[in-house]
């Protein structure tokens, strides 16, 4: 390929010198996103409740020549979020990108069997946890009138698959993101959602992919979702805000 063309393509999608926080980046979609962003030049804060996974992700990024630091972070604990954001700013100077990927699946069970505590647990992680992190980084983004916020929802939040409490939580972050996109757009902050279809992650380890493939064409790899997230985090998505991008292999269309 012509080197000038190659450079123009890279520059178009580049995250050079951008600073990104990726929650739940110890494995799966979050890990793939952190690694892809680092490959495109971002300085990445890797955070997860699994400290060993955080360390491994950071090691893989730095071994490939990328720049990353890691922190234990529980998105339901505002104090650990503050420590994570503070460390990111101390090390890298700012926060340009926030990827809200951390989440929890709901325990299986029908209404009348699933109790209120289970519903509140899922909402606390998947909705309040997302709010907590956005609330922590928005002042930084507002001050410079620039920011990219991408929240990982799920196809469950669009079409109601999975457990009802999980679907409810993932639909809630779609609504939250749309509301914030309207509120923050004039301040140079883009807020978008990626709603993954069936993806080969640890959360999906017990799924029968052969049955899934009978319904539609493809099962995604974490990198497929990372590509959508990274696009929405780059400046080539300048005119995207309040949008839900759902890479799902044609399983459903809206």
Q: What is the pLDDT of residues 167-185, one digit of tens each?
A: 999 999 999 999 999 999 9
pLDDT digits (tens, 9 = 90+) for 77-105: 999 999 999 999 999 999 999 999 999 98
Q: What whole-number distance in Å separates Cα of residue 74 and Cα of residue 242?
A: 26
- In degrees to the nearest 10, what's the CA dihedral of 206, 211, 215, 217? 80
Tokens of 149: 């916020």
User: Which residue in 10, 72, 146, 166 is the catalytic one?
Assistant: 166
CATH of the structural domain 7-245, one choice from 3.40.50.720, 3.30.43.10, 3.40.50.300, 3.30.10.20: 3.40.50.720
Whether 217 sits among the annotated catalytic residues: the reply is no
Among 93-107, 156-170, 199-213, where is mean pLDDT lowest? 199-213
**Partners of 69 in the β-ladder:** 45
Question: Chain-centre distance of CA 169, in angstroms?
Answer: 15
pLDDT digits (tens, 9 = 90+) for 6-63: 666 667 778 999 999 999 999 999 999 999 999 999 999 999 999 999 999 999 999 9
Above pLDDT 90, what percent of the chain?
Answer: 74
């Amino acid at each position: 390929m012509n080197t000038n063309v190659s450079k123009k393509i890279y520059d178009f999608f580049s995250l050079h010198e951008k600073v990104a926080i990726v929650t739940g980046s110890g494995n799966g979609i979050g890990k793939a996103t952190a690694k892809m962003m680092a490959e495109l030049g971002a300085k990445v804060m890797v955070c997860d409740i699994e400290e060993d996974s955080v360390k491994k992700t950071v090691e893989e990024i730095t071994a490939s020549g990328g720049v990353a630091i890691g922190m234990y972070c529980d998105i339901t604990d505002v104090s650990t979020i503050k420590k994570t954001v503070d460390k990111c700013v101390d090390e890298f100077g700012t926060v340009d990108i926030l990827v809200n990927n951390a989440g929890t699946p709901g325990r299986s069970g029908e209404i009348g069997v699933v109790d209120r505590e289970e519903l509140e647990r899922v909402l606390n992680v998947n909705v309040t946890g997302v709010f907590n992190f956005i609330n922590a980084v928005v002042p930084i983004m507002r001050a410079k009138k620039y920011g990219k916020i991408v929240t990982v929802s799920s196809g469950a939040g669009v079409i109601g698959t999975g457990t009802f409490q999980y679907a409810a939580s993932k639909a809630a972050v779609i609504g939250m993101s749309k509301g914030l996109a309207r509120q923050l757009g004039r301040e140079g902050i883009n807020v978008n959602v990626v709603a993954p279809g069936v993806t080969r992650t640890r959360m999906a380890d017990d799924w029968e992919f052969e049955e899934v493939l009978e319904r539609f064409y493809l099962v995604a790899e974490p990198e497929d979702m990372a590509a959508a997230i990274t696009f929405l985090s780059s400046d080539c998505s300048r005119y995207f805000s309040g949008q839900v991008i759902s890479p799902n292999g044609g399983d459903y269309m809206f």
